[in-house]
Structure 1
Amino acid sequence: MGGVGEQGEGPAPLGAPLPTFRWEQIRQHNLPGDKWLVIERRVYDISRWAQRHPGGSRLIGHYGAEDATDAFRAFHQDLSFVRKFLQPLLIGELAPEEPSQDGPQDAQCWCLQHDLGHTSVFRKSQWNHVAQQFVMGQLKGFSAHWWNFRHFQHHAKPNIFHKDPDVTVAPVFLLGESSVEYGKKKLRYLPYHRQHLYFFLIGPPLLTLVNFEVENLAYMLVCMQWTDLLWAASFYSRFFLCYAPFYGLPGALLLFVAVRVLESHWFVWITQMNHIPKEIGHEKHRDWASSQLAATCNVEPSLFIDWFSGHLNFQIEHHLFPTMPRHNYRRVAPLVKALCAKHGLNYEVKPFLTALVDIIGSLKKSGDVWLEAYLHQ
């Protein structure tokens, strides 16, 4: 039960029997410079390689000491190609008597995951990286690497504090479990029981205009993404060269702000109606299907809503199959819904306006929970 893998000294020799590990041993290796994970019942030491992970070290690090099989299959299309990179990192395998995933097992979700594997045949291809850089950089002024850095984490660990950047928004807003924590600690940086009101002032209007702009620029500079920086520079050069001659520099700046504010409103309402009203908290170490269903819901489809939301009203499918082209969500949704019904799992679908109102209701509920804990704990 030990050998070379127990100390993380290197891969197991070719042809030699693989050391076996129990989950209690694997759990010890979830430190910044010492990370193991399990994929398809094989144990890998990613401690040194994580920094070279194409999806980012933080993304793969979120699965430290966990079974990453479902995330591995969801994010990588050519599994045979990716397994070649895993082979040098192999140090052992799970002991035969150990379950594939650590912690309590939900038999219904394991059955669902098996069935969903067959549903995923609808997944075809993903954008070419250069095309993504062009769209994000030249057309939007953002870094493709920065966006992937954020968005992959959100998909891998949705609604998990410190792993999903979309919900790690304290101390500006308190969501889910953070409300009780701040209340018990008597922390009051803002009037959180009024956050459902000041959300309209600093949430939808400023996310893209301020938060994304600053975070995007900082990421490109700190991570030295010079290609992305050039793409972003081309966007701003084109924008101001096109509009400054007509409106002057102040007018062009005003137009830029107006466009970003409108874009920010759309982005916040469309993306958060599927997430903020759902469960938000610390790591529960759930399996892939359970974590996605607990953190997402769908919005009733229509030709207008499908178009207006960019098919993100099918958020459950979007999370279960993160590389599936969006136009296929409508086709696969009835199959996923039927599978959830078959296995007794909740598949939540809301009317569009209800989903929007639920964002405010969830913020108010979290604020009230904070106030109760702040006054009485």
Structure 2
Amino acid sequence: MDGDKKYITGEELKQHNKEGDLWISIQGKVYNVSDWAHEHPGGDVPLLNLAGQDVTDAFIAYHPGTAWQYLDKFFTGYYLKDFKVSETSKDYRRLASEFAKLGLFEKKGHITMYALASIALMFCVVLYGVLCCQSVWAHLGSALVLGFLWIQSAYIGHDSGHYQVMKSRGYNKFAQFVAGNSLTGISIAWWKWTHNAHHLACNSLDYDPDLQHIPVFAVFCELPTLDFLSSNVCCQGQFVFTNILAIVFKEKIPR
């Protein structure tokens, strides 16, 4: 019965928002995933970023329907007293439902095959221009075509990395390997791990892997003062020349 349920508030849930004390709620039920976070198939970064919050939309978006059966073992026995679906979430769910009805989420593998065929054609052109031609203009043209090839392969690598373009996981993995590992020299497994975490912890200075660029990029939570810059960035400038771009944020991005 409803009167026998135990409740906590959203503010109380927020207290459990760190490693070792990590609670989340899904559709008003509170779960303790503190000890299991490192075993999460998607890594602990998404859980750490969303700790102490309702994660219903993220759970639905990133998990198959079979994942629901595993939640009960993490249930704390508590329900979220002030749980409600925000207007933003309602709009998002309505939009997703409309897109699904229109068939916009259906995989259209033939389009990707056309893209792979164009990549193969461009690759042949590049090989011919580099290996069989002595003209500087031919080499410059090959470089231009190679640039277009990399652009197209990046699109294929991204979309197949989300398993959204081919008809099966096997075909998606094939497209990932061709577009990622073979053509651009990037580990597609590493990219998928960081990119999925980026989507769940988008622009979080603490947990978004796409913002962890030191020493190439330096990201600050607060705008550094001139004294800080002179003592930490420019103090060795007369001896060592560095190419570091500091991206600064005056206000910390909330989680």
TM-score (norm. length: structure 2):
0.57
Change beyond 3 A, Cα 1:27–1:178: closer
Match of 1:44 among 10, 27, 31: 31
Match of 1:94 in 2: 79
For residue 81 of structure 1, the aligned residue among 35, 57, 66 is 66
Q: Output the CA distance in 1 between the equivalents of 2:69 and 2:175.
A: 26
Report if the CA contact (8 A) 1:67-1:100 is conserved.
no
CA distance in 2, matches of 1:36, 1:75: 18
Instruction: After TM superposition, give the deviation of residue 95 of structure 1 in Å.
Output: 3.8
Does residue 105 of structure 2 align to residue 123 of structure 1?
yes
2:198·2:210 contact (CA, 8 Å) conserved in 1? Answer: yes
- Aligned partner of 1:183: which letter? T
Task: Answer yes or no: is the 8 Å Cα contact 1:172–1:190 preserved in 2.
Answer: no
- In structure 2, runs of 5+ residues without a counterpart are 108-161, 164-168, 235-240
Question: Could you tell me how far apart the structure 2 residues matched to 1:163 and 1:172 are?
Answer: 18
| TM-aligned CA distance change 1:24 to 1:162, over 3 Å | same
Residue 133 of structure 1, CA deviation: 6.4
Matched residues, percent identical?
27
Q: Deviations over 1:241-276 (max 9, x none)?
A: xxxxxxxxxxxxxxxxxxxxxxxxxxxxxxxxxxx9
Two-structure CA RMSD over aligned residues (Å): 3.5
Per-residue CA shift, 1:143-163, capped at 9, x if unaligned?
333212211121112222112
Aligned pair 1:160/2:204, yes or no? yes
Matched, 1:284 2:251: no
Per the alignment, residue 112 of structure 1 pairs with 91
Aligned length: 179
Q: Partners in 2 of 1:65 and 1:132 — Cα distance?
A: 37
Would the alpha carbon gap of residues 92 and 165 (structure 1) be closer, same or farther in structure 2, given more than 3 Å must change?
Answer: same
Give the AA of the match of 2:199: H
Aligned residue number for residue 183 of structure 1: 225
Task: Kindly provide the amino acid, as one letter, of the partner of residue 73 in structure 1.
Answer: I
Q: 1:144 to 1:86 in 2, by over 3 A?
A: farther
Question: What displacement does 1:284 show?
Answer: 2.4
Aligned residue type for 1:66 = Q
Q: 1:280 to 1:65 in 2, by over 3 A?
A: farther
Secondary structure of residue in 2 paired with 1:186: helix
Query: Are positions 1:24 and 2:11 aligned together?
Result: yes
Contact 2:201–2:208 (CA under 8 A) maintained in structure 1: yes
The equivalent residue for 2:110 is none
How far off its partner does 1:110 sit? 3.9
Distance, in Å, in 2 between the alignment partners of 1:46 and 1:55 is 13
* Structure 2 counterpart of 1:156, one-letter code: L
Amino acid aligned to 1:147: W
* Closer/same/farther in 2, CA of residues 184 and 73 from structure 1, 3 Å limit: farther
1:143 aligned to 2:127? no
Q: CA deviation at 1:283?
A: 4.3
Work out the CA distance in 2 between the residues paired with 1:71 and 1:149. Answer: 16
**How far 1:115 moved relative to its partner?**
2.3
Higher relative contact order (CA 8 A, sep 6+): 1
Structure 1 alignment gaps of length 5 or more: 1-16, 192-197, 204-275, 286-377
Deviations 1:310-348 (A, max 9, x none): xxxxxxxxxxxxxxxxxxxxxxxxxxxxxxxxxxxxxxx
Aligned to 1:344: none
Counterpart of 2:177, as a letter, is: F
Contact 1:37 1:63 in 2 (8 A): yes
Distance 1:178 1:26, change over 3 A: closer
Q: Which amino acid aligns with 1:55?
A: G
Name 2:131's counterpart in structure 1: none
Other structure's SS at 1:166 match = helix
Indicate how the Cα distance of structure 1 residues 85 and 95 shifts in structure 2: closer, same or farther if over 3 A, else same. closer
Q: Normalising by the residue count of structure 1, what TM-score does the alignment of the two structures yield?
A: 0.40
SS at match of 1:48: coil
**Cα drift, residue 137 of structure 1:** 3.9
Determine which structure has more spread, i.e. the larger CA radius of gyration: 2
Q: Which runs of 4+ in 1 moved over 6 A?
A: none
Aligned residue type for 1:88:
K
Equivalent-residue separation in structure 2 for 1:158 and 1:165 (angstroms):
9
* Structure 1 residue 55 displacement after superposition: 0.8
SS at match of 2:221: helix
